[in-house]
A and B are shown apart, each in its own frame.
Chain A
Amino acid sequence: MSAVEDRQGGSNLFRRPSSTAGVRGWLTTTDHKRIGIMYFVAAMIFFMVAGIEALLLRLQLATPEAQVLDSDIYSQMFTMHGVTMIFFALMPLSAAFFNYLLPLMIGARDVAFPRLNALSLWVFIAGGIFLYSAIFFGGYPDTSWVNYAPIQEVGADPAGYTLESGAQSNRMLFYSLGIQIAGVASLASAVNFITTILNMRAPGMTFMRMPVFVWMTLVVSFLMLFAMPIIGVALWQLMFDAGYEGNFFRPGAGGEPILWQHLFWLFGHPEVYILILPAFGIISEILPTFSRKPLFGYAAIVFSGVAIGFLGFGVWAHHMFTSGLGPVANAAFGLTTMFIAVPTGIKIFNWLGTMWFGTLRYRVPMMFAIGLVAMFTIGGLSGVTHAIVPHNAQQHETYYVVAHFHYVLFGGSVFGLFAGTYYWFPKVFGRMYNERLGQAHFWLQLIGFNLAFGPQHILGLEGMPRRYYTYPPGMGWDLWNLVSTIGGFIIALAVLLFVINLIWSARKGPAAPEDPWDARTVEWMTSSPPPQHNWDVVPTISHRDELWHRKYTDEEVPRPVPAGASPDHEASAGAEEDIHLPDPSWWPLVLAAGMPIASWGVVVDSWWLIGAGIVVMLFAGVAWGNEPATEPEHDEQPGTLQP
């Protein structure tokens, strides 16, 4: 008996929150939909911060020998731009979609580990706050998001080295620990989503009936599961080098600078697929819906996605062709890189096949999806030119590469994520976005994007190097740089319209029905927005594109199916009382807070602070372990506890 009292006594300190209302409700939530929304908002904020950094870069480059940023600030800005976009904007934006949609698409009530899910969110935000706090400790990291050794030791500008001593190592510690923390978040989500997809599908939802978006989530989760530990190792090593005079990448005592490149890109190439596959999944849902045709070559799209997942680990050295690996390695990696273009090409053709002879409806999500197919293909083609080793030697470290990765990242990932935002907006908020504003956003973004990054192909081929803060006049680069900057500002305007549209429509938009697009997958079966428990009755799945088959017959010209044909009610009759939703919890937030505390301790070299952070984490961890995921019902006997 006293044991039971113990338990209740223990939780008095941080009484388990029981209400979901107000700010406290959001801070302690374990509801995947709320977590998804918070992921989206936080990631969009980081996206805009990184966007402002990009605009500063472009202002500096608009004219030769401009004085907007000096070399040190410029280096900090392009590094933070890259790091923020990759780790704090695009990855979390994808996570927002995974979180919100995954349980709805597979007919589950939540993810497998709701508190772990909340932990991912808070850890990601804590990492971002930590990284940006670098401004108070001697400046931001300045040696690019790839952060090669040994430049990471001396800083971006060794000649004009004016930093007070220690500032460079602080910058590296912020790079290392900031990304490390973000990596923990990704790893936790990976474990969570893998378990959710493998274990929690609705009855009848076989693998080959899963929506492609779910498949891509699965592939991305495995990529994160196996790629994050590798960058984790490299970042720990960097931490020991920068903070504790380790010798991992210092040539002086036997360290090997090139090792950093290997570890970084062994992670880095899978990472680019982590960034693009969610967008591929999203448009694989949108294109069929707005073409009123099933996805062409479902199996081909799924298996090419899986193939990309495997091949993604075998091409990393194509980022290192000019580092002196030797002709054999270069030839081998050139070949594997060409191979990996094949599954990607397969997807492109399948999307085209989906639209072919479809009844296309040009709503905003569809336009962004088509935008992705076109823009990503340009980026993919320039990628294949990188794979040609002699060609690569000409392009490496020039603006041609910058153009390439913006066509795939912005033209690919961002177009796809924006498409998805418009597509599922009515589901999430129960309101429609503004179609005209959305169309304006699309056209502005398409034009701005091509103005900003198209000319960079030319600049790169004309020899303009990347990561230089300025260039002399008379190189023939002036015009295209100016055009690129103008394009950048047009993109900014477009994104502004996007944000206005979202905020305004979430409050004032016209009410949206359950299924505004006449869509195909089951998340459109529940109300908009879905109730906290997602479904009153979990759907039983008997087809791929389940919802479509419930609405229409299988004939050449589909006819609507009479209502009431759903099998769900018998299958899970009486199941309603069994709904056990995860209870809110403080521990994810507390545990996440320990990480930046310990990391600041590393930066200021205080064992006390490190210890304090670790104690916070351990305390939260143990309390977490002692708190059941779902509290027993108050009127239930202990014997009927949920495990």
Chain B
Amino acid sequence: MATETAHAPQTNFNVSNEKMGMWAFLGSELLFFGAFITVYLIYVPRTADGPGPEVFDIPFTSVSTFILLMSSLAMVLALAGIQDRDLRRFRTWTLATALMGLVFLGGQLYEFTVFVQQDGLGLTTSAFSTAFYVLTSFHKVHVAIGVLMLGTLWFMSFTGRIRADGHGTNAVENVGLYWHFVDIIWIVIFTIVYLIPVDLAT
């Protein structure tokens, strides 16, 4: 560790380049989702006589939202694990985070099939449906990439790129940042896309 910091290039802000880059990237992502959410809000009433927000199943989505929220907690524990130089704890919680992410994805996909098959809300039904599916699918892609990164972290703990001496903590921290961000975005989507429109529609 001592030699590692001695070799690490000094940065002007005492923040690692990777972390600074991740923050910048997330700033950009904020506009990405911001634009999609805005478009969705404009299109909520444009259902073209097809189904509208009343098809959303709030209790079900609340459960998957809760699971995603808990995965953020697991992520925190995974980071704490590696910071405490405890590789086993790190591995367990990393896997747990990834698994919860997968459960969330599964729940979302199930939800989609219900909307399509039972409620007749297809991608091409209306401006509302297109905006809904595309926005939430992009969020899912982000979760999936997160799961993949978590898997890579887990794998790296076996190849020696993440070690009990704390080597590689930086990577864990950055994946954590990303994961929390994706989680927060989902909270916003859940509120704005699901809760409020349903409230207005019923």
A residues sitting closer than 8 Å to B (CB atoms) are 3-4, 6-7, 10, 112-113, 116, 187, 190-192, 194-195, 198-201, 225-226, 228-230, 232-234, 236-237, 240, 244-248, 250, 252-256, 259, 263, 578, 580, 618, 621-622, 625-626, 628, 638-643
Interface pairs (29), CB distance under 8 Å = A112-B20, A190-B24, A198-B13, A199-B11, A225-B27, A228-B28, A230-B31, A237-B39, A240-B130, A245-B123, A245-B124, A247-B126, A248-B134, A253-B46, A253-B48, A254-B48, A255-B43, A256-B43, A259-B42, A263-B35, A578-B7, A618-B148, A621-B148, A622-B148, A626-B152, A639-B4, A642-B7, A643-B16, A643-B168
Determine whether B127 belongs to the interface, using a CB cutoff of 8 Å to chain A. Answer: yes
The answer to whether A6 touches B159, judged by C-beta atoms less than 8 angstroms apart, is yes
Determine whether B21 belongs to the interface, using a CB cutoff of 8 Å to chain A. Answer: yes
Determine whether B200 belongs to the interface, using a CB cutoff of 8 Å to chain A. Answer: no
The answer to whether B28 touches A580, judged by C-beta atoms less than 8 angstroms apart, is no
Task: Give 6 closest A-B pairs by Cβ, nearest first.
Answer: A254-B46, A254-B127, A229-B32, A199-B11, A233-B35, A246-B130
Query: Across the two chains, which residue of chain A brings its CB closest to B19?
Result: A195
Determine whether B158 belongs to the interface, using a CB cutoff of 8 Å to chain A. Answer: yes
Residues of chain A contacted by B43 (CB below 8 angstroms): 254-256
Residues of chain B contacted by A253 (CB below 8 angstroms): 46, 48, 124-127
Residues of chain B contacted by A638 (CB below 8 angstroms): 160
B 19-55 binary contact with A (CB < 8 Å = 1; else 0): 0110011011101100110010011001110000000
The answer to whether B134 touches A246, judged by C-beta atoms less than 8 angstroms apart, is yes
Interface of B is mostly: helix
C-alpha gap A233/B126 in the complex (Å): 18
Residues of chain B contacted by A578 (CB below 8 angstroms): 7
B 159-202 binary contact with A (CB < 8 Å = 1; else 0): 11100010110110000000000000000000000000000000
Minimum distance in angstroms from B74 CB to a CB of chain A: 21
C-alpha gap A112/B19 in the complex (Å): 11
The answer to whether A191 touches B24, judged by C-beta atoms less than 8 angstroms apart, is yes
The answer to whether A199 touches B17, judged by C-beta atoms less than 8 angstroms apart, is yes
Residues of chain B contacted by A639 (CB below 8 angstroms): 3-4, 165
Query: Across the two chains, which residue of chain B brings its CB closest to A240?
Result: B134
Q: Interface size of B by Cβ–Cβ distance < 8 Å?
A: 53
Minimum distance in angstroms from A31 CB to a CB of chain B: 17
Determine whether B156 belongs to the interface, using a CB cutoff of 8 Å to chain A. Answer: yes
CB contact between A191 and one of B21, B32, B124, B160 (< 8 Å): that residue: B21
C-alpha gap A256/B43 in the complex (Å): 9
B residues sitting closer than 8 Å to A (CB atoms) are 3-4, 7-9, 11-13, 15-17, 20-21, 24-25, 27-29, 31-32, 35-36, 39, 42-43, 46-48, 123-131, 134, 138, 148-149, 152, 155-156, 158-161, 165, 167-168, 170-171
CB contact between A226 and one of B16, B31, B42, B158 (< 8 Å): that residue: B31
Residues of chain A contacted by B125 (CB below 8 angstroms): 247, 253
Query: Across the two chains, which residue of chain B brings its CB closest to A246?
Result: B130
Residues of chain A contacted by B29 (CB below 8 angstroms): 229
Residues of chain A contacted by B36 (CB below 8 angstroms): 233
With contact pairs A198-B12, A638-B160, A640-B4 given, residues A244 and B20 touching in the complex (Cβ less than 8 Å): no
With contact pairs A201-B12, A229-B29, A254-B43 given, residues A6 and B127 touching in the complex (Cβ less than 8 Å): no
Query: Across the two chains, which residue of chain A brings its CB closest to B30?
Result: A229
With contact pairs A201-B12, A643-B4 given, residues A256 and B24 touching in the complex (Cβ less than 8 Å): no
The answer to whether B160 touches A7, judged by C-beta atoms less than 8 angstroms apart, is yes
Residues of chain A contacted by B8 (CB below 8 angstroms): 642-643
The answer to whether A230 touches B128, judged by C-beta atoms less than 8 angstroms apart, is no
C-alpha gap A638/B21 in the complex (Å): 27
The answer to whether A246 touches B159, judged by C-beta atoms less than 8 angstroms apart, is no
C-alpha gap A10/B161 in the complex (Å): 14
CB contact between B126 and one of A4, A254, A621, A625 (< 8 Å): that residue: A254
Among B17, B148, B170: residue with most chain A CB under 10 A: B17
Minimum distance in angstroms from A630 CB to a CB of chain B: 10
C-alpha gap A201/B12 in the complex (Å): 7
C-alpha gap A311/B186 in the complex (Å): 30
Query: Across the two chains, which residue of chain A brings its CB closest to B7?
Result: A642
The answer to whether B128 touches A254, judged by C-beta atoms less than 8 angstroms apart, is yes
Residues of chain A contacted by B24 (CB below 8 angstroms): 190-191, 194-195, 225
Residues of chain B contacted by A628 (CB below 8 angstroms): 161
CB contact between A195 and one of B17, B35, B127, B134 (< 8 Å): that residue: B17
Residues of chain A contacted by B130 (CB below 8 angstroms): 240, 246-248, 255
Minimum distance in angstroms from B83 CB to a CB of chain A: 15
The answer to whether B124 touches A255, judged by C-beta atoms less than 8 angstroms apart, is no
The answer to whether B21 touches A112, judged by C-beta atoms less than 8 angstroms apart, is yes
Residues of chain A contacted by B42 (CB below 8 angstroms): 256, 259
The answer to whether A233 touches B32, judged by C-beta atoms less than 8 angstroms apart, is yes
Query: Across the two chains, which residue of chain A brings its CB closest to B27?
Result: A225
The answer to whether B7 touches A580, judged by C-beta atoms less than 8 angstroms apart, is yes
The answer to whether B47 touches A254, judged by C-beta atoms less than 8 angstroms apart, is yes
The answer to whether B134 touches A7, judged by C-beta atoms less than 8 angstroms apart, is no
Minimum distance in angstroms from B71 CB to a CB of chain A: 20
With contact pairs A7-B160, A233-B39, A638-B160 given, residues A255 and B28 touching in the complex (Cβ less than 8 Å): no
